[in-house]
A and B are shown apart, each in its own frame.
Chain A
């Protein structure tokens, strides 16, 4: 099963805003995606409750996994999302 490891860049970890952005993207991926902390059981990346309950902090490494057609591309996109500081305000100061 294709996997990606990524270090979470969101300044305050996967709290409400970044978690919601990630879950929305996972839901649009078209394949079932799981997210797990290293060494822990995977959980459904499309459930906001499950992702928030994981309590992923800034700097935590997580494993994303998916299977089926398009899994690789979906994982690349989701890993890219987590590697971005999703806390950076889109319309605020600083670079996009």
Chain B
């Protein structure tokens, strides 16, 4: 059993420390927001999670293309790791978003472009995992996974655009005009620092988790190979 490399062990510790510091910053350092009060503090982690989730999706799409070109299994492992982790980050995003939404907008959910696209993205991740589950041949699994991340990756921007158009032409939605959702948030320096620190924290956590998941994938592949040898 190969043990965790030293860098990974250090990363584990760093991630934990960063998360602790980020939490402290969020609760004690960042100022109280005028309009929404304490609930607004979720924003620091919510947006960081969302960006990291999108990053994971891009990593998956790139790994997919890399696999199709090189047929090297390591890209398949990276792709699956990226999708699984992004799934979790996005679920966190959606849940924290809902927690924020209820006091801020009076509803747990709304069908505005970003939320709808987030939901669709989650469905694509889950569909990807279901697709992989149904295939036994590892090469075919890798190929299909890569093709699906490619198709999904292309459709998501188009989906976001079309939902945006859908909503702008029928502007009859109540309560979706949250400043943060339009990206035009005015942040004081302290808020900005907390926000950026949160982003850094979650990026580091992403890399750590990705590395762990890739290790897991490689170990699983080794087990598969050993199984095949024993059966011969």
Q: Do A and B come from one complex?
A: no
